[in-house]
Amino acid sequence: MSTSGTTAQTFQLEDILRGAAEICGIVDPGESLDPHDRATLLKVLQLVAAEFHAKFGQRIWQHERTNRLYTTLGGTAATVVTSGTAAYYLDTDTEDIYPDTVFVRRSGDDTMLRALSQKDYSRITDKSTRTGKPEAYLLERNQNFTSSGQETVGRLRIVLYPTPDNSTDQIHHVRWRRTEDWGGGTANPDVPWKYCEAYTLALANKAGLRFGLSQQRHQRIRTEAALAEEIMRRDDHERGPARFGIDLSDYYQ
């Protein structure tokens, strides 16, 4: 027997729900899942997703390199800066950006930008007047920006220094995008297929408390869930040389 020759396997929501139900023993293979039990499992799965988000934070599969910028809230994405404009909004589903991945591209050459803290940016005396090729940036987080009387909470904005002096520079960065919604139980999870076991066992572990499993069975599920979670945690990280440094600039000022 030959292999399929395809790689279209996806992370199906029903597979997780039925898999967890079978592990908990509330449904046998081939039986229909009771609508009430499905609703319970779906609610618990939301808690599992929130817990994994809190535990692991940024996930490799949610990383994307982009140069999209927005000069206004609700505006159209641009791939180049605007001369005389220092502040730009990022995509609405951007959770964060990686500081060591931000660079400006001018005439085919890339130059890394230095990340500034609010304190560093406040100390710059000519930020409102100096123009030129950007050298650094400030990332404004969790700000309430207003457009046409409507507030957008949590939108990220990047402020360049010095203010760009042309409309051809590109600002590239690696962003961490927000996980897509579950669609009210009608959409598949925004998670790689290889982590299906970790989510299924985590769901069975949490749901088991609601379905009144025996202590022995629940302990077995908890052990398997912890192992699958550890495998997922170890797998989902970047591999490369590590570099550590200490910034003492503030100490000597």
Query: What domain range includes position 29?
Result: 13-59+180-235
- 156 burial class (0-12, 13-18, 19+ CB within 10 angstroms)? buried
pLDDT value for 108: 93
pLDDT value for 173: 96
Q: Which amino acid appears at position 183 of this protein?
A: G
Looking at residue 90, the DSSP 8-state letter turns out to be P
pLDDT value for 243: 67
Where the chain has pLDDT below 50, the residues are: 149
240 falls within a domain = no
Residue 30 CA to residue 39 CA, distance in Å, equals 19
172 and 185 belong to one structural domain: no
50 and 83 belong to one structural domain: no
Angle between the N-to-C axes of helices 13-24 and 35-56, in degrees from 0 to 180, rounded to the nearest 10: 100
153 and 76 belong to one structural domain: yes
Count of structural domains, the chain? 2
Return the ∠ at Cα 101 (arms to 95 and 103), rounded to 5°: 115
At which residue do the structure tokens 């957008």 appear?
152
Looking at residue 34, the DSSP 8-state letter turns out to be P
Per residue in 35-46, pLDDT (tens digit) is 999 999 999 998
pLDDT value for 143: 63
Residue 246 CA to residue 249 CA, distance in Å, equals 9
Structure token digits, residue 169: 């520079």
Q: Which amino acid appears at position 94 of this protein?
A: T
At which residue do the structure tokens 């076991």 appear?
197
78 falls within a domain = yes
Residue 78 dihedral angles phi and psi, to the nearest 5°: -120, 155
